[in-house]
Amino acid sequence: MNVKQYLDATYLKTASQAGLSEAENLVVVKEAIAEAIAESFKLIMIRPEYVALAKELITKANSTLLIGTVIDFPEGKSNLETKIKEANEAIENGADDLDFVCNYEAFKNGDTTLVKEEILIGTQIGLAHNKTVKWIIEVAALSDKEIIQLSALIKNVVMSNFKEENYSAVFVKSSTGFFKTKDNLPNGATIPAIIMMLENASPLPVKAAGGVRSYDEAIEMIRLGVKRIGTSAAKAIANGENTSNQY
């Protein structure tokens, strides 16, 4: 099994979050892109402000590495107009994958109309430009029942409004990796959460993001049925090493 083709190498920290200057953080971003190119990973997942840079470096290297970025990250609370603006800018800058943070707080508060609309419009924008769309549901913020319901809601919106040939390009994704949990509980993908997502999002694919820290854990996720894995330790995982990285 070529685990590298499941790995979305990820670096989503701002300079302040990383404790670096803007110039230092830019160096880290460039190193992450270069590593993803050299290791032949599926995709590099970076913040929107670095997408154009990634496109330039990937083109220069004649690489097939895909570029993913996040929309309305990490809380997903912005209005639909903001999500649309960010998505269109990412497309213009050369992004291949658009990872929207679903407004899970609105969902938890019962505003399913708002959530359905953003899923519909965001997915329409992505598919109209031949992009892959992922909806981050933030499993650590949800109860088991809510994970099941939100996964099913996304599936139902997609199946009701798009052709079957598009289903494989619309993912349900577990986590941002930035949600703060109480008592140091997991804030990313767990086996129970992923199983619930797989059972209720199908036929849409699932991406496990956050908490996959070893080759064995990655293989376990793949065997469960996930199609993509987001991790900031892609190289270590591909080399069969364990890592203490939180995402």
The full 3-state SS of 73-128, as one line of letters, equals CCCCCCCHHHHHHHHHHHHHHCCCEEEEECCHHHHHCCCHHHHHHHHHHHHHHHHH
Q: Which residues of 182-202 are buried (b: 16+ CB within 10 A; e: fewer)?
A: eeeeebbbbeebbebbbebbe
Start-to-end C-alpha separation, the chain: 22
Rounded Cα distance between 117 and 29, Å, is: 33
Q: Which of 13, 134, 155, 173 is catalytic?
A: 173
**CA 226 to chain centroid:** 12
Active site residue 96: no
Active site residue 207: yes
For residue 43, which phi and psi values (nearest 5 degrees)?
A: -160, 150
Q: Which of 83, 99, 131, 134 is catalytic?
A: 99
Q: Which of 83, 131, 155, 207 is catalytic?
A: 207
Q: Which helix (H) or strand (E) holds 208?
A: strand 206-209
Other C-beta atoms within 10 Å of 181: how many?
A: 11
For helices 51-60 and 22-39, angle between their N-to-C axes, nearest 10 degrees: 40
Q: Could you give the residue numbers annotated as active site?
A: 99, 173, 207
